[in-house]
Structures are given as structure tokens and as C-alpha cells.
Amino acid sequence: MLRNTTLYPILLVHGLFGFERIGTFELFHDVRQALKIMGVQVFVPHLSAIHDNEVRGGQLLCQIDAVLRGTGAKKVNLIGHSQGALAARYAAALAPHKVASVTSVSGPNHGSELADYLRKALIPGKLPETVARKVATVFCDWLCLLSGTAALPQHALAALNALTTEGVGDFNDKYPQGLPQSWGGQGAEQVNEVRYYSWSGIVPSINLQKPDPVQDICRTLSQYFMTEPSQNDGFVGRYSSHLGTVIRSDYPFDHLRSLGRTAGKHAGAVDSVQLYVEHALRLQATGL
């Protein structure tokens, strides 16, 4: 007997270089299992690992149709991590009648300062850009081969350009649903009968007792942020992540740890997976 479940299925939408499964490793494993225990129908769509927001959003729309056909549901709840949030926003903007809610988890809804830095460092048409594109493409091809998504198109520079402040700004001009009217504010709770939510974190202070290599990488990357120094998760700025109802944007975890449980405990630590469980209950209470 299902209990504490949502009315509509949940799709966990991965971001840049994301995937559903490689061998026995699942990107959303902990989150997916926790939601399944609740009785929630959970799916992870197959999207290009590296491409722009609209291409990935179009792929997501096809996946939504497949889920609706397979489950008989009228709508889906979309939870997008990182660039996955932009794909989810695109799908909801084009087909609001198929989407009950969009939730952005560490999503670059106003662009990423890290992407800005990388774009400036790569001179268009010059050797560094060419090398970077080839390296990213080779890595992505290898990733897609292992994850069984090699047939999907990939475009490294299109992905990078789509994540810059300018690229996301152009995207937002076309798909503004749920965006705050002022920097650091909250967006509309509901647009075209689609509810919008977001949460994100900032890189916590160094844990001297139990080092975390992933967190150390994100802490290093966080130094390239100018607009939101010390207020970012290493990939996305705190206020840049805001969309719809902002649940919280300063959880003590980095960009990658918002996908699952942290490696160790530190002051103010939270269980990232529990946030997804709590959100499923929130959606249920809202009738979604």
C-alpha cells in the first residue's frame, strides 16, 4: 500500500556530464531509493550529457511523454539538479499542461560565474578552445558509452555558452517563468498552474577532522566567483540559484553533495537526501 507518496511521478533531471547509471553506479541512487521507499514513482530521463538547455529540454519533453504513457499519469513533477533545472524550466514553459511542478536544486537560473570564467579563458577559434572542446567531447563520449546514451547528440561549447550569465540571460528572456523580479528575491510560486521551487547551498568551512576531496575541489572553484564570493557552492552562486519559492539557498553543502549524502559530518551538516524526501512530502501536501 502506497503512503506518503506524490500524486504525480517525479523525474530526477541530471545536469552537465550527468547520467542515470554506469554499471552498478547510479547518479541519483540515494535520492531515488529514498523516494521509492515512500512509494513515489521515480524516473531518471536520458539526456545529452553536454548540450545547450533547449536541446536537453526538448529531449526531456520526449521523456515526459513516455512516462505519461507508461504510468497513465496526467502530469509529472520535475526536480532538476544543476543544468537539469534549466531543462525542466524549458519543458514546463513549453508544456505546462504536462508539468505539475519544477524544482531547481543548485540550478544556475541566472548563469554560473564559473562558466563565465571558463568562457573568457577560452578564446573563440583559438587553440585553447579547440583543445578544451576535444577533451570535453572525448570525456563525454566515454561517459555516454558507459552509460548507454552514446546515440544522443553532444556539444561541449554549446553547453558552456548556455551556462554563462549571458547565455542563461538569453534563455531567461524566452522562459522567465518562476524567476525573481529582484536579485536575491523569490519568484512566483505558480505560473500557468506549474509550481516552482528551489534550494541550493554554499561551500561549508574546511573540516579539519575529516577532509572531503570533492568539497575541496568545489572550495577551490568557488574562488573564481566575483559577484557572489563565499556565497556559492563552487559551481553556482547562491542568489543565482533562486527560482519560485526559495526553500533555502545557503545549506552547508557544495554543488556535487546536493546530489546525495556528504562524506562526513561538519558543523551544521544536513542530509541532502532528506531534503528530497521532505520536498516529496511538500508536493504531496500541495496535491501534487
Q: Please state, in angstroms and rounded to a whole number, the distance separating the CA atoms of residues 79 and 101.
A: 8
- Contact yes or no for 83/48 (Cβ under 8 A): no
Q: Is 82 a catalytic residue?
A: yes
Cα dihedral across residues 41, 100, 281, 85: positive or negative: positive
- Of residues 46, 51, 155, 255, which has the active-site annotation? 255
List the catalytic residue out of 14, 46, 48, 82. Answer: 82
Question: Which among 52, 116, 212, 233 is annotated as catalytic?
Answer: 233
Buried b (16+ CB within 10 A) or exposed e, 17-40: bbbbeeeeebbbebbbebbeebeb
Tell me the Cα Rg of the chain.
18
C-alpha–C-alpha distance, residues 247 and 190, integer Å? 14
8 Å CB contact between 12 and 31: yes
Q: What are phi and psi of 226, to 5 degrees?
A: -105, -45
What does 74-115 look like in DSSP terms, one character per residue? S-EEEEEETTHHHHHHHHHHH-GGGEEEEEEES--TT--HHH
Active-site positions read 82, 233, 255
